[in-house]
């Protein structure tokens, strides 16, 4: 089984509430960190450290956070180590810092939603245990004829990219040596995780993960 990973939001009981909200920067709308061929910091001007305002209690107990306005792949460093232990894979880790909501007025301008010049030095006022995972390789493994979209093969569907659960069924051809624990397929808008990766994360007791089977 192949899975897409999204943040488990069962601990959130209100709409428009998130574990962490991005402190926006120029061009943030186009920065996903999901394309292995783009260095988003060097080529698109993303900051060297991506900053958020969020709930530090949730960050302390979860390993994948629900973010806005983009759903970024914000994972704990512990989760990355678990994935690396399954099998090596080429990736880049983009550092992040999450500030508590009570100092939002100090670090994020209310009107522009950009970062202010206020420096936060107290360690209790920031969480730096999360990173954004960006893969550096693509795995061209989609079976374009056997993958169906609304009953038509992907090859004939006119589609160029597929989101989570758009294919029914999704058919991938394993590469020589098998899949890495997490991999990027050029035609998919999300990263794929293997059954082995899911099991390793569950055995490690990681929290905040919702595995969506891609059948």
Q: Is the pLDDT of residue 48 over 90?
A: yes
From its phi and psi, is residue 174 left (phi > 0), alpha (psi between -120 and 50) or beta? beta
Lowest-confidence pick of 2-6, 15-19, 30-34: 15-19
Is 187 found in the same domain as 161?
Answer: yes
* Together in a domain, 27 and 129: yes
Do 34 and 107 lie in one domain? The reply is: yes
Total domains in the chain come to 2
Residue at 102 is within a domain: yes
For residue 10, give Cα distances in angstroms to 14, 129, 198: 10, 22, 19
Can you give the residue range of the structural domain that contains 190? 148-213
pLDDT in tens, 64-100: 999 999 889 999 999 999 999 999 999 999 999 999 9
pLDDT at 13: 85
Run of H or E residues at 83: helix 77-86
Of 135, 164, 193, which residue constitutes the final position of a domain? 135
Among 135, 166, 194, the domain-final residue is: 135
Q: What angle do CA 3, 73, 43 make, to 5 degrees?
A: 125
Q: What is the mean pLDDT of residues 101-124?
A: 96
Q: Is the peptide bond before 169 cis (omega within 30 degrees of 0)?
A: yes
DSSP, collapsed to helix, strand or coil, labels residue 61 as helix
Same domain (yes/no): 31, 99:
yes
pTM of the full structure: 0.94
Residue 164 maps to a domain: yes
**What is the pLDDT, as a whole number, of residue 165?**
87
């Amino acid at each position: 089984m192949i899975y897409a990973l999204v943040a488990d939001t069962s601990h959130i009981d209100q709409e428009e509430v998130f574990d962490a909200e991005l402190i926006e920067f120029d061009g943030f709308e186009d920065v996903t960190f999901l394309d292995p061929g783009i260095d988003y910091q060097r080529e698109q001007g993303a900051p060297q450290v991506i900053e958020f305002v969020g709930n530090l209690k949730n960050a302390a107990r979860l390993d994948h956070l629900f973010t806005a306005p983009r759903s970024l792949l914000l994972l704990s460093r512990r989760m990355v180590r678990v994935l690396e232990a399954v099998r090596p894979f080429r990736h880049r880790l983009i550092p992040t810092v999450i500030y508590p909501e009570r100092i939002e007025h100090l670090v994020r301008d209310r009107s522009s939603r950009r970062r202010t010049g206020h420096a936060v030095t107290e360690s209790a006022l920031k969480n730096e245990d999360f990173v954004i995972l960006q893969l550096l390789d693509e795995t061209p493994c989609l079976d374009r004829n056997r993958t169906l979209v609304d009953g038509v093969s992907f090859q004939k569907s006119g589609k160029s990219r597929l989101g989570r659960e758009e294919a029914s069924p999704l058919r991938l051809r394993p590469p020589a040596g098998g899949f890495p624990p997490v991999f990027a397929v050029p035609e998919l808008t999300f990263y794929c995780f293997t059954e082995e990766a899911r099991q390793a994360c569950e055995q490690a007791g990681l929290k905040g993960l919702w595995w969506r089977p891609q059948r």
